[in-house]
Structure 1
Amino acid sequence: MANVKWVADPAHSEIQFKVKHLMITTVTGYFEKFNIEAETTDDQFTDATQVIFTADVNSINTNNDQRDTHLKSADFFDAENHGEIRFEGRNYEKTGGDEYKLHGDLSIRGITKPITVNVEFGGIVVDPYGQTKAGFTVSGKISRKEFGLTWNAVTEAGSVVVSDDIRLQAEVQLVKQA
């Protein structure tokens, strides 16, 4: 059987990140423009032979224009020179029940590092339009400093403005391609 191709349904998917601000609250952001492509050897998503995720850095949205502009600047993502975030999954490993780990390489600002994210497989359904869809909840954590996102400031009391840990959260629907 030939590999089965899947692509993201952007209307039913969201890619978020969360970061501590002043170490007392969490700011949530997301990417409005992204793409996910996957290949499996069967219809049941028991394996994934390839997973590629890309996000357009210029589509970042934290519900604050000034902060978004700062995030796109050279202090953070440097969107002018590094307009895309890319993840290439290389190993989709079942850990029990509907739980998986996806190991791959994440590239931000021209720096590529291996990361592992947790994947909860939500199942496969055929929607009212006859499309076969697979659902996933993805979560993980990265160190922003490992990817060259080192800007920070210190408050009068000595605490940092932005934490190093970035929590990743995604709700993803993939559509099986004919």
Structure 2
Amino acid sequence: MAITWKLDPTHSEIQFKVRHLMITTVTGYFKKFDVDVETVSDDFTSASRVQFTADVDSIDTNNTQRDTHLKSPDFFNAEEHGQITFAGRKYEGSGDEAQLHGDLTIRGITKPVTINVEFGGIVVDPYGQTKAGFTISGKISRKEFGLTWSAVTEAGQVVVSDDIKILGEIQLVKQG
């Protein structure tokens, strides 16, 4: 019998990091996202379904002008492609370290990606809920997903790097 795990949004976050002018890193978040997982047991290597969605309109880089630009057709084109999705195909690893292989879709373009997963463990919280925790990390090429906007300064510096680091803290709640 399948066990369903749902996101605990108050104890989870998804962020991305991108180099700006190749001298600093800008961090952004998706404030609205969801994760659903089905497993056969409390061992996540038995996951039969891992589904992630993020609402592009919830992007937040702590700068309204930049967020508006990121939602525009230059980047995510939120009006036509309102969600980013990831469908996990295979969770492999043992102990605390694993990799999750799946298909990431951004702007209607789907590519296979591998995400590093650090399993934090399973505990029962003070309210009797069984929770599992994960730290995820990975890197993608934004241009492979149609995020091709680019600019160069007068001195020849690239404004936005191609490599995007993805980081997340995910807490799941086992469903009764």
TM over 0.5: yes
SS in 1 for 2:46: coil
Q: Normalization by structure 2: what TM-score?
A: 0.98
Q: CA deviation at 1:48?
A: 1.4
Note if contact 1:44-1:124 (Cα within 8 Å) is conserved in structure 2. no
Deviations 1:68-99 (A, max 9, x none): 000000000000000000000000011x4310
Question: Which residue in 2 is equivalent to 1:32?
Answer: 31
Q: CA deviation at 1:43?
A: 2.0
**What are the equivalent positions in structure 2 for 1:7-86 lying under 5 Å apart?**
7-86=6-85
Question: Which residue in 1 is equivalent to 2:165?
Answer: 167
Alignment root-mean-square deviation, CA: 0.7
Note if contact 1:23-1:161 (Cα within 8 Å) is conserved in structure 2. yes
What amino acid maps onto 1:31 in structure 2? F
Q: CA deviation at 1:44?
A: 3.4
Deviations 1:111-144 (A, max 9, x none): 0000000000000000011100000000000000
2:111 corresponds to 1:113: yes
Q: C-alpha separation between the residues in 2 aligned to 1:49 and 1:99?
A: 18
Q: C-alpha separation between the residues in 2 aligned to 1:150 and 1:45?
A: 35
Note if contact 2:45-2:92 (Cα within 8 Å) is conserved in structure 1. no
Question: Which residue in 2 is equivalent to 1:133?
Answer: 131
Q: Give the count of matched residue pairs.
A: 176
What amino acid maps onto 1:100 in structure 2? A
What amino acid maps onto 1:9 in structure 2? D
Note if contact 1:85-1:106 (Cα within 8 Å) is conserved in structure 2. yes
Q: Normalization by structure 1: what TM-score?
A: 0.97
Q: Where do 5+ consecutive residues of structure 2 fail to align?
A: none
Q: Where do 5+ consecutive residues of structure 1 fail to align?
A: none
